[in-house]
Amino acid sequence: MIVNFVIVIAALGLAAVTLNPKFIKTDAWRATVTPLASIIGSGFLVSGPILAHAAGDKAVVAMAGLCALAYLFGAIIRFNIINVEPILAGDPSRALKAFDRACQLALAFAYFISVAYYLNLFAAFALKAAGVVNPDATRLLSTAVIAALGVLGFARGLKSLENVELIAVGVKLALIGGLIAGLAWWVVAQIAGARFDVSQVNHAAGWNEIRIILGLVILVQGFETSRYLGEAYDRALRVKTMRRAQWIATGVYIAFILLITPHFAGRLPEHGGETAIIDMLAPLGAIVAPLIIITAISSQISAAVADMNGSSGLIAANGDERLTMKWGYAVTAAAAIGVTWAANIFEIISYASKAFVFYYGLQCATAALAAHKTRKSRVVIMPLAAFGVIAAAAVIFFGLPAEGG
């Protein structure tokens, strides 16, 4: 099929850019790729089937809403990078210092769940490649990988594994770009042949629809990593590249959901819903399934390693002297394994969303306090922060997991 050819050519063309040694070594790209890789990582793979289940043919509206909420939280964090970080580096008030410590602990807790999320997806896609769709097998494989990373982190640290991140991200972005190009070609061909149709899809309706969408913030999470890159990049560059990463991710997500809508098949299956995108897009071309599986496997490990490093570092920084980085890896691995066996993948997605918006809510409170104290942008920041806290509370109290069946 010509779609396969389009996918390959587009992916190779993008790879020539995203894997160009001169390009990927620039500070502007490196500072952009860290948040961008998190935002359009695993969420990209599950967003289509879950939003088809939750919102049907209005999925693109739901995705736009999620991206807008993420951009609001991103704006608050960018304010904190510019205005709160200098205060914390100097002589912060007791309240501001307490809020910052709470933010770091909340983020470490969110990382526990996100590690489980990433590696459960890794296991599901890896097993799908072998023709296995079994929740218990997924849990066993993800437990083994989490435990292996925990042992490796405890014994030697995981920093060495970060060296492959830029390559993995470059490959992933090229493959995603190729997939979007293939979807676009398919839509154009369907329209040209007068065969294009977006039929109504059976999906959760009313209040439950809204509650499921509220539980999907994790799909667009990841921009906050710019907040903790201060040792490598200055504040202005982090603000600029975080904003750029969010705009790129928003464009990619909305284009993908818009183009995938004609392929929606309805509600999630009882088992294997997290890998439903493979079956959903199989008619597009023979290359699609292997492309999706390679994208999934290449992205989940690097994302999990990044979050394990982040979590372990935050635990060590906020614990006593006995709780070193290596014990942080052990704690993170143990917590992620506990989450794996306590919940299914869709529950993990919902819990991760709630954990991250709790962190975002604390960031909003920190921004409001700083704006009030310094009188910087408080006419804008304080209402935005208040809305962010309310939105975070709504996700925490009302968000529901998507359930197959």
Amino acid letter for position 230: G
* Three-state SS letters, the chain: CHHHHHHHHHHHHHHHHHCCHHHHCCHHHHHHHHHHHHHCCHHHHHHHHHHHHHHHHHHHHHHHHHHHHHHHHHHHHHHHHHHHHHHHHCCCCHHHHHHHHHHHHHHHHHHHHHHHHHHHHHHHHHHHHCCCCCHHHHHHHHHHHHHHHHHHHHHCCCHHHHHHHHHHHHHHHHHHHHHHHHHHHHHHHHHHCCCCCCCCCCCCCCHHHHHHHHCCHHHHCCHHHHHHCCCCCCHHHHHHHHHHHHHHHHHHHHHHHHHHHHHCCCCCCCCCHHHHHHHHHHHHCCCHHHHHHHHHHHHHHHHHHHHHHHHHHHHHHHCCCCCCHHHHHHHHHHHHHHHHHHCCHHHHHHHHHHHHHHHHHHHHHHHHHHHHHHCCCHHHHHHHHHHHHHHHHHHHHHCCCCCCC
The domain limits of the chain are 2-398
Query: How far apart (Å, rounded) are the C-alpha atoms in residues 311 and 106?
Result: 10
Contact 316, 325 (CB under 8 A): yes
Would you state the CATH architecture of domain 2-398? Answer: Up-down Bundle (1.20)
Closest among 69, 35, 266 to 173, alpha carbons compared: 35
Quote the pLDDT of residue 33.
79
54 in Cβ contact with 213 (< 8 Å):
yes
**Nearest Cα to Cα of residue 351 among 303, 399, 301:** 399
Record the pTM: 0.89
Task: Give the pLDDT confidence score for residue 43 in this predicted structure.
Answer: 73
Q: Can you read off the two tokens belonging to residue 369?
A: 């306090």
Contact 270, 405 (CB under 8 A): yes
What distances in angstroms separate CA 306 from CA 194, 228, 286, one per listed residue? 46, 12, 32
Taking the C-alpha atoms of residue 344 and residue 82, their distance in angstroms, rounded to an integer, is: 39
Nearest to 359 by CA among 109, 93, 154: 109
pLDDT of residue 195: 62
Query: 30 — alpha (psi -120 to 50), left (phi > 0) or beta?
Result: alpha
**pLDDT value of residue 161:** 62
Rounded CA-CA distance 384/387 in Å is: 5
Is the alpha carbon torsion for 39, 42, 46, 48 positive or negative? positive
pLDDT digit string (tens) for 272-331? Answer: 667 778 887 877 778 888 888 887 777 787 778 878 888 888 888 777 666 778 888 899
252 within 8 A of 184, measured Cβ to Cβ: no
- List per-residue pLDDT tens for the chain, 405 residues long: 688 888 889 989 988 888 888 877 788 888 887 788 778 876 777 888 888 877 877 889 999 999 999 999 999 999 999 999 898 888 888 888 888 889 988 998 998 999 999 899 889 888 888 888 888 999 999 999 999 988 888 887 766 665 566 677 778 888 888 888 988 888 888 777 656 565 555 555 677 788 888 888 888 988 888 888 877 789 999 999 999 999 999 999 999 898 888 777 666 666 666 777 888 787 777 888 888 888 777 778 777 887 888 888 888 877 766 677 888 889 999 999 999 999 988 889 889 999 999 999 999 999 998 888 877 777 888 899 999 999 999 999 998 887 654
CA angle 325, 349, 247 (to 5 degrees): 85
The Cα–Cα gap between 289 and 129 comes to 9
* Alpha carbon distance 302, 289 (integer Å): 21
- pLDDT given for residue 380 in this prediction: 85
CA distance 32 to 12: 21
